[in-house]
Amino acid sequence: MFKKVLLLSLILLTLLFSKEKNNSYIKYKIENNNIETAYMFLKSELLANGYNIVYEGDFAKLTKKVGKLLNKESKLSFGKKIAFCKGSLSFKLLDENIDNIVFCPFSIAVYKEKKEAHFYISYINYKALKKDEKIIKQINKDIKRIIEKVIF
């Protein structure tokens, strides 16, 4: 009985979201969830984990305005990007390699195309600039953990 419940739970989790990964970014496709709630929970999780939200960009609103000027319709019904940083991690990142300044602030995008039932949460999969750097891997794991906490 336990095995059946576990198997059913795994199947349901697979149906609720899927994960797409390539070398430069990771994208989660989320089904059957409220995008506004997920976005607010994501912001709360970032703050609870000691990150500071540097800015939020509303790209759905921006592309809607530009679309009116161009007589085109925006593809987004919701599209926000959160830029965030954590002082202690930024210090370690720059201490490891000063060129890592290009990574700050980190960002996560939450967006939904019009006419689609699902939405996406994606982030850049940061790569270390030098072989022996460890902090960037820690940051990637932290971002992934926060997002997966939001979608599970």
Q: Which two tokens stand for residue 90?
A: 């930024």
- On whether the CB atoms of residues 87 and 107 are closer than 8 A, the answer is no
Asked if pLDDT for residue 9 goes beyond 60, the answer is no
**Chain segment 24-37, per-residue pLDDT in tens:** 889 999 987 899 99
Which pLDDT value is given to residue 1? 61
Q: How confident is the model at residue 151 (pLDDT cuts 50, 70, 90)?
A: confident
Q: CATH number of the domain that 135 lies in?
A: 3.30.310.70
pLDDT in tens, 102-113: 888 999 999 999
User: Tokens at residue 2, please?
Assistant: 């336990």
Number of domains in the chain: 1
Where in the sequence is the domain holding 70, given as residue range(s)? 17-151
Judge whether residue 128 has pLDDT over 90. Answer: no
Residue at 50 is within a domain? yes
Q: In the structure encoding, which two tokens stand for residue 145, read together?
A: 């953990």
Is residue 2 included in any domain, yes or no?
no
Distance CA 26, CA 24 (A): 7
